[in-house]
Amino acid sequence: MRIVFAGTPDFAVPCLRAAAQRGEVVGVYTQPDRPAGRGRGLTPSPVKREALLRGLPVLQPENFKSAEAKRELRALQPDLMVVVAYGLILPQSVLDIPTYGCWNVHASLLPRWRGAAPIQRAIEAGDTQSGVCLMQMEKGLDTGPVLLSQSLPIGDADTGGQLHDRLAELGAQVLADGLGLLRAGIRPVAQPQPDEGVTYAHKLEKSQARLDWSRPATELANRVRAFNPWPMAEAMIEGERVRVHGAVAQPLQHAAAPGTLLAAGREGLDIACSEGALRIRVLQREGGKAITAADYLNGRRDLLARA
């Protein structure tokens, strides 16, 4: 079987490894190198680095609008194209090129959380379950029929980063199962997605990182988990902006204005919310590293007196 793989970030790397196990990957598509780091030098994607380590040919078109880009894909004579967090919406003219079309590995239980940030949005919404779907791609955004799926629980303390890593490995497992069936001459049965339960996981924006104390504490605690490690929740604590790495909701009854520091101690900093309080346990000062609330208070003794 001749497989073309398309992906860009870390999430796609385990799937590339799964697809390449038998030497069937004949080409790897990934986003063009982008400026990154302090020097803003051009940096290859994680998928490109993995492909080069494996000696696989890499293609990096800006998009598939040109006839040349489509000719390059046809020249690879793909039986199947596997797409994992590639970053481009593929036109129907591309989806029709491989013999078996294009498969997509998506990090949610479709139709819930179609779109760009399903992992983080699931945690932010307080979901207790997530999973991975292997989907037959069509022109719509994550609307294609599901070939295979597996679920896993979301733990109360799971961060976006932790769930990302677990789903990346689960995605590779589901993809390997699908490829095994196809090699055996069995095409997975495509199950259309139901019309009910559709939600969209909109792209994460840095502007969404600021915690709004007028929201319930449970909502903010979920956002802190979801946005770790990026874009990382931010908060103002008694005049200082900090990044919040770890926090839990406290069912405290209070009459304080949202944003008021209710208590400060080794267990954390309790900030009044519209409902309950958010206990900040791990935080980061400007230019510093992540520290516990106890270490933070060593540098801000004034808060002990004011809480």
pLDDT tens digit sequence for 93-147: 999 999 999 999 999 999 999 999 999 999 999 999 999 999 999 988 999 999 9
Q: Where are the domains of the chain?
A: 3-201, 206-306
Query: Could you tell me the two tokens for 214?
Result: 């007028």
Side-chain-facing half-sphere of 10: CA atoms under 13 Å: 7
- Alpha-carbon distance of 73 to 59, in angstroms, equals 9
Architecture of domain 3-201: 3-Layer(aba) Sandwich (3.40)
Query: Residue 192: its pLDDT value, please?
Result: 98
Known binding residue 167? Answer is: no
Answer yes or no: is 179 a known binding residue: no
Confidence (pLDDT) at 39 = 77
What are the tens digits of pLDDT across the range 144-192?
999 999 999 999 999 999 999 999 999 999 999 999 999 999 999 999 9
**Rounded CA separation 250/214 (Å):** 15
Answer yes or no: is 152 a known binding residue: no
Strand positions, DSSP E, the chain: 3-7, 25-29, 34-36, 41-43, 58-59, 80-84, 102-106, 114-115, 129-136, 146-153, 200-201, 233-237, 240-250, 261-265, 268-272, 277-284, 290-292
* Mean of all residue pLDDT scores within the chain: 96
Taking residues 63-73, report their average pLDDT: 95
pTM of the entire predicted model: 0.95
Predicted local distance difference test score (pLDDT) of residue 305: 67
Fold of domain 206-306: Methionyl-tRNA Fmet Formyltransferase; Chain A, domain 2 (3.10.25)
What span, in angstroms and rounded, lies between the C-alpha atoms of 159 and 127?
12
39 burial level (CB within 10 Å; 0-12, 13-18, 19+):
exposed
pLDDT beyond 70 at 54: yes
Res. 215: pLDDT tops 80: yes
Asked if residue 38 has pLDDT above 80, the reply is: no
User: Which pLDDT score, from 0 to 100, does residue 307 have?
Assistant: 58
Q: Does 93 count as an annotated binding residue?
A: no
Does residue 86 carry a pLDDT above 70? yes
40 or 8, greater pLDDT = 8
